[in-house]
Amino acid sequence: MRKLSNLFMGLSLLCFVVPALAQGGEAAATNWVAITAGFSMALASGLCALGQAKATASAAEALGRNPAARPGIQLALILGLALIESLALYTLVIIFAKVK
Amino acid sequence: MPEQLWFTAILNHLFAGPITALLRLLHIEPKYPQAPIHNAVAMELLVFLFLVAVFALLRSQLSVDKPGALQHTFEGVQDLIEGQSHEIIGDHSEAHTPFLMVLAFFILLCNLIGLIPGFESPTAVPVVPLGCAICAFFYYQAQGFKHAGPAYLAHFLGPSDKSMSIFIRIPLAILMLPIEIISHLARVLSLTIRLFANMYAGDMVTLVFFSLVPLGVPILFLGLHIGVSLLQTYIFILLTTVYLAGAVAEEH
């Protein structure tokens, strides 16, 4: 019963959207490409940061356990960080290509 | 007339006539006939001439008993690249050192030349990193064919385990072939975009902060650009070495 009343409340809130649809096309068109570009770049950067944090954390831990293996760990860390970084950069390139 | 750097203007002034004639022979009409040489091409040419001059100077100064500072520098870089390629590729990796060293110096100088006022980085234009990536791609494919002959094509069928039955290996090979081809082409794409995006983003972010705070703050981003240039050169060479290892290394 409570879920049903919440559902109806949500659906009735959607009625507020109708006036916005009514005036579509009159005012200056909103640049949806730019807004989406901002969101997608933020998402890409955030996820890339999480991935790099995980890589750096395990590299630091491995280095603490076995300092003698430093060259190999350093190589794997730098390679991993650059590959993850490049994934966020692909998003940036699409933005440069598509946003006026 | 497009906006030109001073070096490009000199080159166009001297060579525009013959180059436009040559392009028209190949049925290519340059966009600006008085300035067929692009800024990026002029900067690449400058880096090339500078590197040839440095290598010629180094060659004339080579000495076993009393190595100078220039020789020490280049020997240091060679040790770095040889050590890394030996670690990744295994035996007989010294044959690849010349290509890797020249690629490293070229990309590094192309990245760094943008910091000097009056010059711009050719790697901030998408086609220059594409050229470097295509060179690396053809090099490692050619080395793969040279090392294994026509049997190198078996690499594109994915891993094969002799213990599995033939009824599993053939569908697996058919499945792996398009995946491997796309993955090899994606390597070219990723090398290109990684280098281009890092250099272009460095330029853009310096410009943005220059428009906000013209004094002092952009120098931090130029310093970051130096670090990023070195790192991206290293990553490019490292990835080329890894791809070479995939093409050339023997299975144990």
Task: Convert the pLDDT of each residue in B27-71 to its tens digit.
Answer: 888 888 888 888 999 999 999 999 999 999 999 988 888 888 889
For residues B148 and B32, membership in a common domain is answered with no
User: What domains, with CATH codes, occur in chain A?
Assistant: 30-100 (1.20.20.10)
**Interface A-B: count of C-beta contacts within 8 A:** 34
% of chain B residues with pLDDT over 70 = 99
Residue A77 Cα distances to A21, A54, A58, A72, B197, angstroms: 50, 11, 9, 9, 21
Nearest to A90 among B193, B239, B242 (CB): B193
Tokens representing B166? 């033939």
Closest partner residue to A89 (CB to CB) among B87, B193, B234 is B193
B93 lies in the same domain as B217: yes
Q: Which chain A residue has the Cα nearest residue B85?
A: A75
Token pair belonging to A10: 């949500």
Cβ separation B194–A79 shorter than 8 A? no
- The reply to whether B7 and B124 lie within a common domain is no
Q: Residue B197 and residue A86: Cβ atoms within 8 Å?
A: yes
Nearest CB to A89; choose among B87, B197, B234:
B197
**C-alpha torsion sign, points B79, B85, B88, B90:** negative
More confident residue, B205 or A21: B205
Query: For residue B25, what are the domain limits?
Result: 1-37
The minimal CB distance from A82 to the residues B193, B200, B235 is found for B235
Same domain membership, residue B143 and residue B105: yes
Judgement on whether residues B202 and B105 belong to the same structural domain of the protein: yes
Query: Which residues of chain B neighbour A69 with C-beta distances below 8 Å?
Result: none
Q: Of A8-22, A45-59, B74-88, B166-180, which has the strongest mean pLDDT?
A: A45-59
Question: Are B26 and B73 in a shared domain?
Answer: no
Of B179, B176, B114, B107, which Cα lies nearest the Cα of B136? B107
Average of pLDDT values for B75-98? 91
pTM of the full structure:
0.85
Same structural domain for residues B30 and B61? Answer: no
Chain B contact set for A79 (CB, 8 A): 235, 238-239, 242
**Does one domain contain both B106 and B190?**
yes
For residue A22, name the pLDDT band (cuts at 50, 70, 90): low
User: According to the model, what pLDDT value does residue A19 have?
Assistant: 55
Say if the Cβ atoms of B242 and A79 lie within 8 Å. Answer: yes
Using 50, 70 and 90 to split pLDDT, how confident is the model at A18? Answer: low
Which residues in B have their CB inside 8 Å of a CB on A? Answer: 84, 87, 190, 193-194, 196-198, 200-201, 231-232, 234-235, 238-239, 242
Q: How many domains does one find in chain B?
A: 2
- The answer to whether B197 contacts A71, with C-beta atoms less than 8 Å apart, is no
Same domain, B210 and B139: yes
CA distances from B217 to A4, A37, B178, B199 (A): 56, 26, 48, 18
pLDDT band at B251 (very low <50, low <70, confident <90, very high): low
Q: In terms of CA atoms, which chain A residue is nearest residue B193?
A: A90
Query: ipTM, 2 decimals?
Result: 0.72
Q: Which among A45, A84, A96 is the top mutation candidate for probing chain B, defined by the most B β-carbons within 10 Å of its own β-carbon? A: A96
Residue range B199-238, pLDDT digits in tens: 998 888 888 888 998 888 888 888 999 999 999 999 999 9
Q: From residue A70, how far is each of A18, A67, A75, A79, B85 by CA, in Å? A: 62, 6, 8, 14, 17
Amino acid at B142: A
What does the pLDDT read at residue A97?
A: 83
Q: How many residues does chain A have?
A: 100
> If DSSP codes are grouped into helix, strand and coil, which group holds residue A12?
helix
Same domain, B24 and B79: no
Judged against a pLDDT cut of 80, whether residue A14 lies above it is answered with no
d(CA B176, CA B189): 20
Q: How far apart are CA B62 and CA B72, in angstroms?
A: 10
Is B56 found in the same domain as B146? yes
pLDDT at B112 over 60: yes
List the one residue out of A31, A5, A25 whose CA is nearest residue A100.
Answer: A31
Same domain for B47 and B30, yes or no, is: no
Burial of B200 (0-12, 13-18, 19+ CB in 10 A): buried
List residues of A whose CB lies inside 8 A of any B CB: 71, 75, 78-79, 82, 85-86, 89-90, 92-93, 96
Compute the average pLDDT of residues A51-62: 96
Task: Write out the two tokens for A90.
Answer: 């692909």
